[in-house]
Amino acid sequence: MPSEHESGGGPEQRRSPLRAVAAVLSAFIGIRKNSARDRDLATIKPLHVVVAGLIAAAIFVITIVTVVRLIT
């Protein structure tokens, strides 16, 4: 009988996008424990990481451009 983690219908599955956002933000900052990285590799879908990364990068670029325009 498969466990909740193997069936893909448990709470870990529902929190995967939020975990992806947390993983991407901590990667942007540069703080990440090996144990957290290993856990995320096992539970997060790559698509969620890509989408979260693209959104975070876009927000970062928009923020930098806005700050530069305000200063100049």
Whether 27 contacts 21, CB under 8 Å: no
State the DSSP code for 44.
S
Whether 43 contacts 12, CB under 8 Å: yes
Contacts of 19 (CB under 8 A, 6+ apart): 40, 43, 44, 48
Q: Render each residue's pLDDT in the chain as its tens digit; 72 residues.
A: 444 444 455 555 557 888 899 889 888 888 888 888 888 888 888 899 999 999 999 999 999 999 999 998
On the CB side of 58, CA atoms within 13 Å amount to 6
What's residue 53's pLDDT? 93
pTM equals 0.69
